[in-house]
Amino acid sequence: MNASSTESVRPNYWKVFLTFARNSLVRDMTFRVNFFLQCISSVGWTLMNVGFYLIIFQYADTIGEGSGWDRDRFFLFIATTWFINSLVQAFFMPNAQEFSELIRTGGLDFALLKPIDTQFLISFRRIDWSALSNFLAGMVIAGVSLHGLATQETDPMIPSLGSVVLYLVFVACGVTIMYSLMICLSATSIWLGRNQTLYNFWFYITNFSRYPMEIYNHGLGKPLYGFFTFVIPVLLVVNVPARLIAKPVSPRTGAEWMLVGWALVATVLSVCVSRWVFGRALSSYRSASS
Amino acid sequence: MSLWWTILQTALEERLVYRGDFALGTLMRFLPIITQIFLWYAIFDSIGAVESKPGSEIQAVQIGGFGFREMVAYYLVTMIARAFSSMPGLASGIALQIRDGEIKRYLIQPIDLIGFLLLNRIAHKLAYYAVAIAPFALVFFLCRDYFVDGWPPIHVLVAFTASLVMGFLIGFFLEAAIGMIGFWFLEVSSLLFVYMLFSFFLSGHMFPLSLLPDGIESFVNFLPFKYLAYFPAAIFLGKIPAEELPTEMAIEALWLAFFIIVCRTAYARGVNRYSGYGG
């Protein structure tokens, strides 16, 4: 057997991914009214949140005394949350839910037999295109708040090219951390047999990532701050990219750069851990009786 | 009467099967409150003094009539209110029964659908409280410092209990009425989702309604959603002036009557429209 024939047996992951994406789009477009209603309700949810924060800023100038998260910067933070959550919900959430179902029904057998990496197969099979409407909503929020920051009277701010590049890199890191967490959570359903509360648990954990991390940094919040920065690094997911672009504190401090560096390390670590947990979980999979 | 008692008993037993899972799930539901506590602390902190210090001139900040501690207490009490007024699966269950024809059962047997569902729901709620009271008591005990005024006076407690019971009934008849839409449209799930979004915002589950800008607040106050969360919590925390309390309670009772009528009418009309085939 020569090298070229082994090459042809190996699947082209990018092509497989594109096929998954196309299939999902076809499926979503089959029930078009449902698709649009889903988009409308996600946008409704966004509007409600924006309304809530606008009400808060009627009363307060910043979130947290001296933290620098004023209205426009905080909305940039919210936009970042929306970007990351919409990507996770579009690409990983439907698959994680389906994974639990595959284990319960024994359908995972078929995934294991396919000549492709199992984690890849079960992570990307289904894409929920309607969740990307929140990505667009995030872009609108980001656009408005960037405009607000650029045109404000006292020290207008336009992010430099460098910070935009860093922002994109760390948004990707954030998505990766979230993905790893989700894989770990859904792998537990191999051991538990069924994991219906997956979504709830996910919601409760990621709830901690939704606000600037400074709010936890006093009194009883310190253990939480440490735990969600160093053990389960969800606090880094939105905070690091949002800080890089919105610069609530300027000039930057050494501690902030350490946080950025730690976010990179945490991303690599969480991918490794999730890969390891997933492998361990697969090896204890016993299939369902048929 | 004994028939209804049997229905109640069966439903109770059905619900008590998974109590451990249930209690843990209830405890987890309080986790988001932790985030809320820190968020509101940060908000109050950036406006001014979070707490007024005894002996000093500095007054604690209030937003929409709520101080920091009251704000946390508000979220805790709305958890109780939601435990009464939320009706998971009610509307979608009715719509499903209409779609797959199971509703025929109630047309043939001498049982009233709405009465049956109501009893089922009461049994469900009773079983829920029997198990959930432990995690609720734990969390409220841990958070007792947030209730600055301690226990409210007895007449307020009576009004609070009445508002919880009415909140339960309004929630039930409102959602049942939405489920009846299934007689006209086969698929109501997306409609339900939109309703849930609105009720989350307009019931005061997300934040106290008194924070809303004045024009919007008076409009939202006119809607029935506030009875699902905001109103009971506002009573408990003494945010409804004593002289307005009877009127407010009467308005709530009127809304309840309104939803009972709507639900009954929708059911009667729906059954007339309904045609069941096969068996």
**B145-182 per-position pLDDT tens digit:** 888 777 888 888 999 999 999 999 999 999 999 988 88
Out of B38, B194, B212, name the one closest to residue A55 (CB): B212
Three-state secondary-structure class, residue A103:
helix
A2 in any annotated domain: no
Can you give the residue range of the structural domain that contains A134? 9-283
A133 in any annotated domain: yes
Calculate how close chain B gets to A41, using CA atoms only, in Å: 6
| Partner B contacted by A200 (CB < 8 A) | yes
Per-residue confidence (pLDDT) for residue A2, from 0 to 100: 47
The answer on pLDDT for B228 being more than 70 is: yes
End-to-end CA distance of chain A, in Å? 38
Q: What mean pLDDT do residues B16-31 have?
A: 73
Buried b (16+ CB within 10 A) or exposed e, A182-203: bbbbbbebbeeeebebbeeebe
DSSP H helices, B64-187, are: 68-85, 90-100, 104-108, 113-142, 154-180
Count CB-CB contacts under 10 A for residue A108. Answer: 20
Residue B231 near residue B167 (C-beta atoms within 8 A): yes
| Partner B contacted by A223 (CB < 8 A) | no
Calculate how close chain A gets to B38, using CA atoms only, in Å: 6
Count CB-CB contacts under 10 A for residue A51. Answer: 15
Extract the tokens encoding A145.
């708040």
Peptide bond into A251 cis (omega under 30): yes
Out of A44, A200, A208, name the one closest to residue B194 (CB): A44
Per-residue confidence (pLDDT) for residue B233, from 0 to 100: 93
Contacting A with CB below 8 Å, chain B residues are 25, 28, 31-32, 34-35, 38-39, 41-47, 63-64, 190, 193-194, 197-198, 200-201, 206-207, 211-213
A269 in any annotated domain: yes
A123 in any annotated domain: yes
Find tokens 């600037």 and name the residue: A212
Out of A44, A200, A218, name the one closest to residue B197 (CB): A44
> For testing the chain B interface, which of A48, A73, A220 should be mutated: the one with the most B CBs within 10 Å?
A48
Query: Rounded to 5 degrees, what are φ and ψ at A221?
Result: -75, -15
Q: Nearest Cα to A77, choosing from A184, A4, A149?
A: A149
Out of B32, B201, B213, name the one closest to residue A204 (CB): B32
Calculate how close chain B gets to A59, using CA atoms only, in Å: 7
Residue A55 near residue B211 (C-beta atoms within 8 A): yes
Yes or no, beta carbons of A59 and B43 under 8 Å apart: yes
Sign of CA dihedral A52, A58, A62, A63: negative
Number of structural domains (chain A) is 1
- What is the C-alpha to C-alpha distance for residues B206 and B203, in angstroms, rounded to an integer? 8
Calculate how close chain B gets to A58, using CA atoms only, in Å: 9
Calculate how close chain A gets to B34, using CA atoms only, in Å: 9
The answer on pLDDT for B14 being more than 90 is: no
A290 in any annotated domain: no
Per-residue confidence (pLDDT) for residue A4, from 0 to 100: 47
Q: What mean pLDDT do residues B187-208 have?
A: 85
B273: alpha, beta or left? (left if phi > 0; alpha if psi -120 to 50):
alpha
CA-angle at B150, arms to B148 and B152, nearest 5°: 120
Confidence of residue B55 (pLDDT cuts 50, 70, 90): low
- A260-263 LR contacts (CB < 8 Å, sep 24+): A260/A166, A260/A170, A262/A229, A262/A230, A262/A233, A262/A236, A263/A170, A263/A173, A263/A233, A263/A236
Can you give the pTM of this predicted structure?
0.83
Question: Chain B neighbours among A 7-36 (CB < 8 Å)?
Answer: 34
- What is the C-alpha to C-alpha distance for residues B204 and A6, in angstroms, rounded to an integer? 62
| Partner B contacted by A52 (CB < 8 A) | yes
The answer on pLDDT for B118 being more than 60 is: yes
Per-residue pLDDT of chain A in tens (290 residues, 90 and over written 9): 444 444 556 778 888 888 888 888 888 787 787 788 888 888 888 999 999 999 888 888 888 777 778 888 889 999 999 999 999 888 888 888 787 777 777 777 777 777 778 778 888 888 888 888 889 999 999 999 888 888 877 777 787 788 888 889 999 999 999 989 888 888 777 776 555 566 677 788 888 888 888 888 777 788 888 888 888 888 888 888 888 888 766 667 777 788 888 999 999 999 999 889 888 888 877 766 54
A37: closest chain B residue by CA = B190
A1 in any annotated domain: no
The answer on pLDDT for B56 being more than 70 is: no
Give the start-to-end residue ranges of the domains of chain B. Answer: 2-273
- B134-139 LR contacts (CB < 8 Å, sep 24+): B134/B23, B135/B23, B135/B26, B135/B27, B135/B30, B136/B26, B136/B79, B136/B80, B136/B83, B138/B27, B139/B27, B139/B30, B139/B33, B139/B76
What mean pLDDT value characterizes chain B?
A: 84
Per-residue confidence (pLDDT) for residue A139, from 0 to 100: 92
The answer on pLDDT for B34 being more than 90 is: no
Q: What's the CA dihedral at B201, B205, B207, B212 to 10 degrees?
A: 40
- What is the C-alpha to C-alpha distance for residues A192 and A189, in angstroms, rounded to an integer? 5
Out of B44, B47, B207, name the one closest to residue A52 (CB): B207
A39: closest chain B residue by CA = B190
In chain A, residues with a C-beta closer than 8 Å to the C-beta of B43 are 56, 59-60, 63-64
